[in-house]
Amino acid sequence: MSATSFDLIVIGTGIAGLAAAKVAAQKGLRTATAEQLLFGGLVVNINELDGEIEGSGTDYASNLMMETSDLGVESINETVSGLSKSGDTITVTTDGGTHTARAVIIASGARLKRLGVPGEAEFEHRGVSQCADCDGPMYQGEDVVVVGGGDSALQEALVLAHFCKRVHLVHRGAKFSARQTYIDAVAAQPAIETHWNTVVEAIEGDDMVRKVRINSGGTSSELATSGFFAYVGLAPNAEFVPADIARDKRGGLTTNDTLQTSLTGVFAAGVVRAGCGGNLIDAKNDGEKAGAAAAKFLGK
């Protein structure tokens, strides 16, 4: 079992975590990042970024990762399972050992929520996907179903429309919550068919997804489909965080103006934090702010 000590440990290497580690290292803190999965978070699934930051998600994350490495940030390639504090020392427990620091930034991000309908888990990787950029070409000329009404759902529907014969966009409401540019683009895309006030009841098939059962106004029907993509919000990755650290109703960690949580010396940044915007620039800004705040907390 390994045991190491740092000024700061950043949990998570999505954009918020990498941005935080970069600023902290620039300010002279001995910094480490803890992450079992590949760096970059959800952004690496996006081939073409749309917003203030341009390019591909993978390229942007890779450049940021190289910058932190050049600054001497150490990588702990382990799964974080717990967090505790004794005096001025914070202990991060992983599947590989324990690591201590004087401050911690939780930037563990969030995962896409599941609908929880029959067939969703059973057909994962057999027609159920959560990455249109990755899997869209597999459905060339076929019909797919996208669920949701926010930015992510409409963005992914637009990506899939470049490959698929028909994209069924299923939304439980009567209007989208996405930004107007995406709404206009969906309305102008003939390959996308929107199903308003409709919910998914089940995903069915044999060796692969073959159809989705939907319900609109109490009437059930079926959509023949080869692929199923749900984008119905994010769930914060905060299971390892002590229960007494304050959260909002969705489970996001609440912070003060310096992004410090209710546990002194523990900060939060990115979509794991309550109140963080959902755009890439928000994650970057959050990370930089948390990195600077942690450095100030430690006298740097």
Q: pLDDT digit string (tens) for 172-200? A: 999 999 989 999 999 999 999 999 999 99
Only one residue has tokens 């006030």, namely 197
State the pairing for strand pair 227-230/128-129: parallel
* CA–CA distance, 85 with 11 (Å, rounded to integer): 15
152 band by pLDDT with thresholds 50, 70 and 90: confident
pTM: 0.81
Nearest-CA neighbor of 238 among 256, 248, 252? 252
Which strand ranges, in their side-by-side order, compose the sheet holding 219-224?
198-205, 209-216, 219-224
pLDDT over 70 at 265, yes or no: yes
The domain made up of 114-230 has a fold known as: FAD/NAD(P)-binding domain (3.50.50)
* CA–CA distance, 14 with 222 (Å, rounded to integer): 38
Residue 271, SS3? helix
CATH number for the domain whose boundaries are 2-111+234-297: 3.50.50.60
* CA–CA distance, 37 with 276 (Å, rounded to integer): 22
Nearest-CA neighbor of 192 among 241, 144, 245? 144
Q: What is the pLDDT of residue 275?
A: 92
Q: What is the mean pLDDT of the chain?
A: 92
Q: What is the pLDDT of residue 52?
A: 60
Q: What is the pLDDT of residue 68?
A: 93
Every domain range in the chain assigned CATH 3.50.50.60: 2-111+234-297, 114-230
